[in-house]
């Protein structure tokens, strides 16, 4: 039987093979030790990082539109007020959850940090 004539494996067979790639190592626990406080803090930091990313993207887009002359003076004032209020709210959320704004970033390995360093 050639490679082209082989019958595709069932999904359950593929899962079993994948599980074999992760055989337990003697002396190392297969359980991950997590406490709820660590998980909660990590999740909070992740959510705030995403919110901060969106805030920065909105700010950059607003600056681009202002530089292009797409906005009236009234719209520029409204965008500026909205962005300042959003920045203040972000600071309040960080204070509430006891997360420093410097912690709001993700290391993307070779790509660098998710958020630019200001």
pLDDT tens readout for residues 47-88? 999 999 999 999 999 999 999 998 999 999 999 999 999 999
CB 45 within 8 A of CB 103: yes
Structure-token pair, residue 22: 């992760």
Give per-residue pLDDT as tens, 1-24: 454 555 555 555 555 555 555 666
Q: Residue 31 domain-assigned?
A: no
Structure-token pair, residue 109: 């390995």
Q: Residue 64 domain-assigned?
A: yes
Q: Residue 69 domain-assigned?
A: yes
Q: Degrees (nearest 5) of the Cα angle 110, 115, 118?
A: 115
Q: pTM for the full model?
A: 0.64
C-alpha to C-alpha distance for 104 and 9, rounded to whole angstroms: 44
Q: Residue 12 domain-assigned?
A: no
Residues 6+ apart with CB under 8 A from 71: 65, 79
Q: Residue 114 domain-assigned?
A: no
Where do runs of H (alpha helix) occur along 1-118? 11-20, 36-68, 73-96
Residue 38, pLDDT > 80, answer yes
Q: Residue 17 domain-assigned?
A: no
| Domain boundaries, position 71 | 38-100
């Amino acid at each position: 039987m050639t490679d082209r004539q082989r019958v595709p494996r069932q999904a359950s067979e593929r899962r079993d093979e994948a599980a074999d790639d992760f055989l337990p190592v003697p002396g190392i626990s297969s359980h991950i030790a997590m406490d709820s406080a660590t998980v909660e803090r990590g999740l909070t930091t992740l959510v705030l990082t995403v919110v901060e990313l969106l805030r920065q993207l909105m700010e950059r887009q607003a600056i681009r539109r202002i530089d292009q002359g797409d906005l009236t003076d009234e719209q520029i004032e409204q965008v500026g007020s909205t962005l300042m209020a959003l920045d203040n709210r972000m600071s309040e959320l960080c204070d509430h959850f006891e997360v420093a704004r410097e912690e709001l970033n993700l290391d993307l390995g070779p790509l660098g940090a998710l958020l630019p360093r200001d």
